[in-house]
Structure 1
Amino acid sequence: MITCVVDYQIDPSKIEDFERFAQAWMELVERHGGVHHGYFLPAEGASDEARALFSFDSLAAYEQYRSLFGSDPDFIAADRIRDESGCVIRYRRTFMRPLLPDRAHS
C-alpha cells in the first residue's frame, strides 16, 4: 500500500471553495480504486494549512488513477474549482508507506 500525503497552503477566506474541491477529489479517489482518509482543515485559530491523505494498493494503481488527470472530464472539473477560486495557494505531494496497528493481537 502507498499513501499520498498532500500538504496545502490555502486561502482561509476561500475555505468553502476548498471544501468543494476536497469533496470532488475524495469522490474521484474512491471511484478509481483508492481509499481516501479525508481532508484535515484548520479548526482553531487562523491557519492556512490543510492536509489530505489517500491510499492505493500500489504505486502502479496510483499511476493508473493519475493517468486520468487532464483528460477525464470529472478530473478537469475538480481542478477547475481550485483554479477558478484560487483556494489553493500551493501544495506538496509526498508518498509514504503506512504502518498500521496490528489488530490481530488486540
Structure 2
Amino acid sequence: MAVTCLLRYEVRAEHLADFETYGRKWITLVGRFGGEHHGYFLPSEGASDVAYALFTFPSLSAYEAYREQSALDPVCQKLFKQLPDFVTRYDRTFLRPVFDGQEL
C-alpha cells in the first residue's frame, strides 16, 4: 500500500528563496530514489513562515529504503546539513493516499 509523507516546515522568512532552491533539489532526488514528489508549497498569503512538501512511495518499506539510501548519498548529506540554515522546525506525517480509480 502506498504511503504519502506530508512535511510541514517553519521556514525562516529571510531564507525563503534558499529554501525554494533546496526544495527543487529534493524533488529530483525523491524521484531518483523511487518516490513521486508532488511538490513544495511555499507561503503566498497568510502565515509567511509555513511551507509544505508531499511525496509518495509505493510502500512504507520503499520509503524506509529511501531514507537509508539518502542518508548515504553525498548530495543528500549536503542538503540535510543545510536544512537548519533555512528551517526552525519540521514535522513529518504519514498518510494513506486515495487516488482516482485506485482499487484496494
User: Please, what TM-score do these two structures have when normalized by structure 2?
Assistant: 0.88
Q: Max radius of gyration: which structure?
A: 1
Equivalent residue, structure 2, for 1:88: 87
1:61-83 CA-partner distances (Å, limit 9, x unpaired) = 00110002432101111113323
Are positions 1:9 and 2:10 aligned together? yes
What is the distance in 2 between the residues matched to 1:19 and 1:33? Answer: 22
Equivalent residue, structure 2, for 1:63: 64
Contact 1:68-1:75 at 8 Å conserved across structures: no
1:44 Cα deviation (Å)? 1.9
Structure 2 matches for 1:43-82, cutoff 5 A?
43-82=44-83
Contact 1:26-1:38 at 8 Å conserved across structures: yes
1:46 Cα deviation (Å)? 5.0
User: Please, what TM-score do these two structures have when normalized by structure 1?
Assistant: 0.87
Equivalent residue, structure 1, for 2:32: 31
1:27-71 CA-partner distances (Å, limit 9, x unpaired) = 110111000000000012451100000000000100110002432
Contact 1:17-1:81 at 8 Å conserved across structures: no
Q: State the AA in 2 paired with 1:28.
A: L
Identity across aligned pairs (percent)?
A: 46
The alignment partner of 2:100 has SS state of coil
User: Mind listing any 5+ residue stretches in structure 2 that lack a counterpart?
Assistant: none
Kindly tell me the number of residue pairs found equivalent between the two proteins. 101
